[in-house]
Structure formats: C-alpha cells, structure tokens
Amino acid sequence: MSNTFFESLDINPFPFLLIAGPCVIEDYDTTFNTAKYLKEITDELNIPFVFKSSFDKANRTSIDSYRGPGFLKGLDILNTIKQKLNIKIISDIHLPDQAEKAGQILDIIQIPAFLCRQTDLIAAACNTNQPVNIKKGQFLSPLECKNIINKAKQSGSEKISITERGTSFGYNNLVVDFRAIEIVKQMGVPVIFDATHSVQLPGGSINSSAGNREFAPVLAKAAMAVGADGLFIETHPDPDNALCDGPNSIKLDTIKNVLTLMISIKNAVSEN
C-alpha cells in the first residue's frame, strides 16, 4: 500500500491515524475545548491525530436541523483552533468552488459520503494539492471505490484515503462488511474506518437520524483487527444534547479508554 497520503501529512500512521471531533461546529468554546482535550489524550497515547468538525452539514435530514456556522465563519474557527493548538484539521466541502479556499486552511479535505461520486468535487479537491479523504458512499460496494480512486488520480493526486462508513441495509439501517477494508487497501490507498457513522440509523427518528453509539467501540475493535489504517470517531462532551449526530457520537470523557483498547488490538495484530 502506498503511504503517499500519510507522507504528505508528515505522519507516521502507527498505531493508527485518529480523525476525531464533534460532528459540527456548534460554537467556538465547545469546539476548542474538545480539540484541546483530544490533543492532550492523543499526545499522551502517542496517536497521530487530526481534528474534525464540519462548518456546514449540507445533507441534514430536515431543513430545520442545525447545519453549522457556515463556510467562512467555520473555516475561521477551525483555523484559529489549528494555530492555537498546533494541530492538523479536516472538514468537508460540498461544492467545487469551496475547494481552493478550504485547501488554504485544511490539512485534509474531506468528501462526504453522499457526494463521493461527484467528479467535479473530487477534481476540485485534488487540484488543491492537499490530501483528500473520500468517504465511501453507503450505497456503494467496496469494489466501486476503484472508480473514485481513479477519478482522484486522474485529477492529479495520489494523496488519497478512503473511509468506510457502512452500507445501507434496508430502511434506516447500516451494516459493515469488514471485507471492504482489505478490498480497498488492495487498491493501494489507506483505509480509515468511521466507527460512529457506521452505527448511525439514517432517518431513524424520521426528522433526524438516530444511532446506537454503544456499538461504535465494538465495530472499531473489529476494524483494528482486520487492518484499518485509521479511525474516524465523532465525539462530544454531551452527546445527548449535541446539535448533530449525538445518538452515534462517543462521549468525550470515555474516548481515552476506547483508544487505549484500540492500541492494544493494533499492537497484537502487528505482532502476528
């Protein structure tokens, strides 16, 4: 597997890359304090860390759902936190004309799962010369990721990772096929496992998504065991009152125990 993605970030991915943070930027203080706590924990555990939060959730279930502070204000918040804490950051873009501005601030540009086949969006992100994390759509098989990767490469970038986040299974449910991690890794790119969106129940509360956050660590353990190169975890100080994706977010003060267990599994697998 090519390490171009990690090399471009100047990251040694062992034991694994952690992408983590609250789903959406709710306010500056919550976002900053969450990033600060995650930096302290990952420094202590020696885990490479990229902070994630979205400036705009453009695909919320309901038009009345909170979306975030918006593109410019959100990027400004992320940039301030990046500079103050000296951390790397990742966020989603939804439109090709957002790529250039976002690429000046973000260390990784993320393509949301629902937009993973949008050729112009992928090309715009890749043209920034920043690393790009593309979330595999829940409507795709792992083999179809080859087409996504080819779009990125033909747009001039080898700095690509794919995030597995489950596959639609009937109404309002997702299931994870862990074969997908190895299948996509064989395509020559790192694979990140999204432990929290994989336990989401899309539209499960009719006007919003539901979720089973208690199963996120269970799936994360399986992903580490089968060779995922990183974990994507949405975490919040108070998930029950989070403005987005609370039902599938891990409580922030439990994250250290989860990560410690992941390190143990990764070490055990690496020794064999």
pLDDT in tens, 203-226: 766 666 777 889 999 999 999 999
Rounded average pLDDT over 1-29: 91
Number of residues assigned to the chain: 272
Q: Which CATH architecture has domain 4-270?
A: Alpha-Beta Barrel (3.20)
Residue with the larger pLDDT of the pair 250 and 1: 250
With cut-offs at 50, 70 and 90, classify the pLDDT of residue 3: low
Q: Where are the domains of the chain?
A: 4-270
Q: pLDDT tens across 114-156, in order?
A: 999 999 999 999 999 999 999 999 999 999 999 999 999 999 9
pTM for the whole structure: 0.95
